[in-house]
Structure formats: C-alpha cells, structure tokens
C-alpha cells in the first residue's frame, strides 16, 4: 500500500475532500546537490491536489489523515495508461502500412490507433477504477466536531 498524508478540506456526505501536497523524493536524498533531477524538481512548484475519498475514519475538516493506494492498482493503471496507447500505435501503423502500402498511411494508421487506445483508457477510467484511494486512519484532529458542522434546525 502506498501511503500519503493529507488534510481534510471539506465533507460531502459520506465522502471527504482531502488535499495532498505533491512532493519530490529529492528532499530526502543525500545526492540532491549534485543531481540534475533535483534541479528540475526545484523548477516546478509543489502543487496541491484535491481528492474525493470515502470518509471511513470519520474525519472532520482540518484533520490530518493517512490515505492509501493499493500497489497492484497503480501497476495496473500504469500498464493501461502506457501500454494500451502504445499497442494501438503499433497495431495502427502496421495495419496502415499493410492496407495503404505507403508511409503516410502507416503514420495515419498509427495516429488513429494511438487515439483509439487513449479513448479506451479514458473510457476505462470513467467506469470506476481500482485506483481509488482509501482513507486509512485519522492522524490528528482539528478540534472541530461533526455536530458543529451540521446546520441547526430552527
């Protein structure tokens, strides 16, 4: 399980909107002063990413939580994201070359195959994914209770 700390920003029914600051691994590396990767990482600011996860830990806005992502889901998603368009590109180029017999048809076939592969990946991801992060536990509380967030009845 790949784990990351996040902060709960808002609640939406049984789900929580959590914010994660994407970080580079360069901060903990001993060779960061002489590494080109750390220079590239320093050019891009750390961005905050927001995710909607099921609030299984009953967290409140402001709480620090630990969210996790199954490694098998990440591997499957990587294979889907990179492998399917690449296979589409190769198959389309081969079919374009076979049917058209010239280089422009092979290029068009490859572009069409890669486009179909990307469309398939998008369609698969819209159907629901195994790459859905889960809230593992609450790390710290903000002192805000759920009762104080509920609208009061007149």
Instruction: Identify the residue whose tokens are 């017999």.
Output: 101
If asked whether residues 2 and 52 sit together in one domain, one would say: yes
Structural contact between residues 13 and 64, judged by C-beta atoms closer than 8 angstroms: no
Q: How far, CA to CA in Å, does 150 sit from each of 60, 87, 96, 146, 147? A: 12, 51, 61, 7, 5
46-60, 93-107, 138-152: least confident range: 138-152
Query: Which residue has better confidence, 33 or 102?
Result: 102
**SS3 category, 68:** strand
If asked whether residues 63 and 6 sit together in one domain, one would say: yes
* CATH number, domain with residue 21: 2.40.50
The phi and psi torsions of 19 (rounded to 5 degrees) equal -110, 130
Average pLDDT over residues 101-108: 89
The phi and psi torsions of 25 (rounded to 5 degrees) equal -75, -5
Instruction: Identify the residue whose tokens are 């905050």.
Output: 48
So what's the pLDDT on residue 42? 67
pLDDT higher than threshold 90 for residue 117? yes
Query: Which residue has better confidence, 75 or 108?
Result: 108
If asked whether residues 123 and 145 sit together in one domain, one would say: no
For residue 97, give the H/E element and its range: helix 71-100
d(CA 75, CA 94): 28
Percent of the chain with pLDDT over 90: 20
If asked whether residues 52 and 80 sit together in one domain, one would say: no
Percent of the chain with pLDDT over 70: 71
The total domain count for the chain is 2
So what's the pLDDT on residue 70? 80
pLDDT higher than threshold 70 for residue 26? no
CA 37 to chain centre: 21
So what's the pLDDT on residue 2? 81
Interval 66-80: pLDDT, tens = 888 888 777 888 888
Query: Residue 116: which domain range?
Result: 71-130
So what's the pLDDT on residue 53? 86
Interval 121-136: pLDDT, tens = 988 877 765 667 888 8
């Amino acid at each position: 399980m790949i784990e990351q700390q996040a902060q709960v920003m808002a609640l939406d029914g049984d789900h929580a909107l959590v914010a994660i600051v994407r970080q580079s691994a360069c901060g903990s590396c001993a060779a960061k002063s002489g590494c080109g990767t750390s220079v590239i990482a320093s050019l891009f600011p750390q961005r905050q990413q927001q995710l909607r996860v099921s609030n299984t830990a009953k967290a409140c806005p402001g709480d620090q939580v630990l969210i996790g992502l199954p490694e098998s889901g990440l591997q499957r998603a990587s294979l889907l994201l990179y492998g399917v368009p690449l296979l589409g590109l190769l198959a389309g180029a081969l079919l374009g070359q076979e049917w058209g017999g010239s280089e422009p048809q092979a290029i068009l076939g490859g572009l069409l195959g890669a486009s179909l592969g990307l469309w398939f990946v998008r369609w698969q991801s819209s159907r629901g994914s195994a790459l859905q992060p889960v809230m593992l536990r609450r790390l710290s509380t903000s002192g805000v209770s759920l009762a104080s967030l509920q609208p009061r009845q007149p």
